[in-house]
Structure 1
Amino acid sequence: MKAVLMTAPGNPDVLQLQEVPTPSIENDTEILVRLQAAGVNPIDTKLRRRGTFYPDQMPAILGCDGAGVVEAVGSGVQRFRVGDEVYFCQGGLGGKQGNYAQYVVVDERFVAPKPTSLSFVAAAAAPLVLITAWEALCDRGRLQLGQKVLIHAGAGGVGHVAIQLAKLHGATVCTTVSSHEKAAFVHQLGADRAILYKEKDFVQAVLDWSGEGVDLAFDTVGGETFAKTFAAVRVYGDIVTILEPDASTNWKVARNRNLRVSYELMLTPMLQGLVSAQQHQADILNQCRQWFDEGKLKIHLNKIFPLEKAATAHQVLEAGSTMGKIVLVTGSE
């Protein structure tokens, strides 16, 4: 099969299209998937630049997100049959093979049926950002019906699905964006208020909108933005971040407001082999599948590249300011 191999840490040109053996089923609960598309995420570019979590296992095939058709099943597989269409977030961290390839082997427990309303390309764009947003808002942030939520970078990959998930859970949502074009985009997704952070102090804008502060803030930016957000959250409120706080972070406002601070890293179940947590992530995708097919949830595609243009896809993602997701077409869709 053809696959994009990361030959060493470095610039995008370390991603090379090569011919490699097609993987085979080794455990009875595994399925072989003929991939049609693979999502491209910031974790991919970070691992390419600095090295994977398993530097002794090189070269590596990156790509956590995949969508495709079941080609073969293990003897113990119960949920899927040959020909079923699936999507998932598995592999691509440097240990198990990722999805920048034409085939991949995945445990059926960590896979969900593909939404019938989505193309393979759109489905491949969805898993990592959906799981990240759901876990941040619902599992870490304990989102409740009627709460007010601040979502940073609402036009981005995680942000644009976080807005929709928050609304589906009955929240009122404000979000930060960098342009009027992105403001229009997030309003189409259901955001109640878009704050152009380049033109206004977002903390004051949130307080003007929410009164005493939001119940829950979701930080997808990090750095100074994370620390500034403390003042936009009500006393005893929640803030969840997907990034590691800077060592220089001043925690005084968070402490004085008795904020509950949580971290969201959706890769933890894969990295630590937590089977039940990975099954929970597949359950999230299954619920989102229903919402996609009911027209209640959308995934926005920014750019689509053929598999051999993986390096270009990384360059575009690292350039920043994209709305929605970037995807590689790995099959014949």
Structure 2
Amino acid sequence: MKAVVMTAPGNPDVLQLRDLPLPSLGSRELLVKLKAAGVNPIDTKLRGRGTFFPDKMPAVLGCDGAGVVEEFGANVTKFRVGDEVYFCNGGLGGHQGNYAEYTTVDERFAARKPKYTSFAEAAAAPLVLITAWEALYERGRLSPNERVLIHAGAGGVGHVAIQLAKLKGASVCTTISSQEKARYTQELGADLAINYKQNDFVKAVLDWTNGEGVDVAFDTVGGETLQKCFPAVRVYGDVVTILEPDKNTIWKVARNRNLRISLELMLTPMLQGMIETQQHQAEILEQCATWIDEGKLKIDARHQYKLSEAAKAHDLLETGSITGKIILLTES
């Protein structure tokens, strides 16, 4: 099979298309002929600094995948040949990732692909859907009629976070960097789009909430953004970040406002081998597939490349501030 192999840590040029043998199939695993693979920031970080398993090089990156079951292990009960699936599995340097024509996935970690969406859109979805779901629904405990601030609403995680918040019955404000992105996020359901380059987003949030602040702030940017959002959150509110807090973060405002700070890393179950939690993440994808099929949730997979163009896809992602997701089409 063809696969994009990371030969060593470094720039995008270390991603090379090679021939690899088909992965071996475990008793509870599916052999999936991949149609598309998602490209996420974790991929570029691992490519640049090295994977979580440096002794297992070269590596195939890519956590997100979508494709068709071609074979299954003796103890598989949920899926059969021809079933269309999507999932977040592998790609961290241990289990093979999805920048390939084939991969294997434990049936417990796979979900049925949404019926009425493309493989590209399905492959764009798993990591960002699970991240936004866990951040808003589980870490932030978002409830109906609450108000939420979502940073970078036009991005991969942001664009699905807006939709999940609206499905919960919340009011949403989001930060964006252009009028085009303002229109885009409002089409997704955002009640207020704040151009952070032109406006103080904290003042805009406080004006929007009559001086109280939002119930939940979701930081998808990191750096100083985390600290800046503290005064925009109501007393006893929630702040969730998907980035490691900067060592220079000043926590005084957060402490004085009794904010609950949560960290979200949806990769933890995969890294820790937490089977039940990985099963729960597959259940999240099953529910989201239903919403996608009902037209309640949309995935933006506008940036599509061939498998052989993985380096170009990484180059684009590292420019920053793109709208939607980047996909590799694994079929030539």
What TM-score do the two structures reach when normalised by structure 1?
0.99
Q: Secondary structure at the match of 1:301?
A: coil
Query: Where does 1:166-181 land on structure 2 (aligned, <5 Å)?
Result: 166-181=165-180
Q: Secondary structure at the match of 2:302?
A: strand
Cα offset, 1:39, TM superposition: 0.3
Cα offset, 1:99, TM superposition: 0.1
Give the structure 1 partner of residue 35 of structure 2. Answer: 36
Mapped to 1, the partners of 2:49 and 2:65 lie a distance apart of 23
Cα offset, 1:320, TM superposition: 1.3
Task: Check the 8 A contact 1:88/1:127 in 2, yes or no.
Answer: yes
Cα offset, 1:210, TM superposition: 1.1
Query: Where does 1:11-26 land on structure 2 (aligned, <5 Å)?
Result: 11-26=11-26
Task: Check the 8 A contact 1:302/1:322 in 2, yes or no.
Answer: no
Cα offset, 1:302, TM superposition: 2.6
1:305 corresponds to 2:305: yes
Deviations 1:17-54 (A, max 9, x none): 0000011212x211100000000000000000000000
1:224 corresponds to 2:224: yes
Deviations 1:116-162 (A, max 9, x none): 01111110000000000000000111111110000000000000000
Cα offset, 1:321, TM superposition: 2.0
Give the structure 1 partner of residue 213 of structure 2. Answer: 213
Mapped to 1, the partners of 2:131 and 2:321 lie a distance apart of 20
Give the structure 1 partner of residue 125 of structure 2. Answer: 126
Mapped to 1, the partners of 2:322 and 2:302 lie a distance apart of 7
Give the structure 2 partner of residue 76 of structure 1. Answer: 75
Deviations 1:48-100 (A, max 9, x none): 00000000100000000000000001111111000000000000000000000
Mapped to 1, the partners of 2:256 and 2:321 lie a distance apart of 34
Mapped to 1, the partners of 2:301 and 2:78 lie a distance apart of 29
Task: Check the 8 A contact 1:241/1:264 in 2, yes or no.
Answer: yes
Query: Where does 1:1-333 land on structure 2 (aligned, <5 Å)?
Result: 1-26=1-26, 28-211=27-210, 212-331=212-331
Deviations 1:197-246 (A, max 9, x none): 00100000000001200000000011111101000000000000000111
Higher mean C-alpha displacement, 12-21 vs 294-303: 294-303
The one-letter amino acid of 1:222's match is G
Structure 1 portions without partners, runs of 5+: none
The one-letter amino acid of 1:135's match is E
Mapped to 1, the partners of 2:195 and 2:220 lie a distance apart of 16
The one-letter amino acid of 1:40's match is V
Task: Check the 8 A contact 1:69/1:83 in 2, yes or no.
Answer: yes
Mapped to 1, the partners of 2:208 and 2:279 lie a distance apart of 38
Mapped to 2, the partners of 1:237 and 1:318 lie a distance apart of 32
The one-letter amino acid of 2:105's match is V
> Aligned residue pairs: how many?
331
Structure 2 portions without partners, runs of 5+: none
Q: Secondary structure at the match of 2:96?
A: coil
Mapped to 2, the partners of 1:203 and 1:246 lie a distance apart of 19
The one-letter amino acid of 1:115's match is P
The one-letter amino acid of 2:265's match is L
Mapped to 2, the partners of 1:164 and 1:88 lie a distance apart of 20
The one-letter amino acid of 1:120's match is F
The one-letter amino acid of 1:303's match is H
The one-letter amino acid of 1:185's match is Y
Quote the RMSD (CA, aligned, Å): 0.6
Cα offset, 1:180, TM superposition: 0.3
Mapped to 1, the partners of 2:209 and 2:195 lie a distance apart of 16
Deviations 1:143-195 (A, max 9, x none): 11110000000000000000000000110000000000000000000000000
Mapped to 2, the partners of 1:79 and 1:111 lie a distance apart of 10
**Sequence identity percentage:** 71
Task: Check the 8 A contact 1:32/1:73 in 2, yes or no.
Answer: yes
Q: Secondary structure at the match of 2:314?
A: helix
Mapped to 2, the partners of 1:135 and 1:117 lie a distance apart of 25
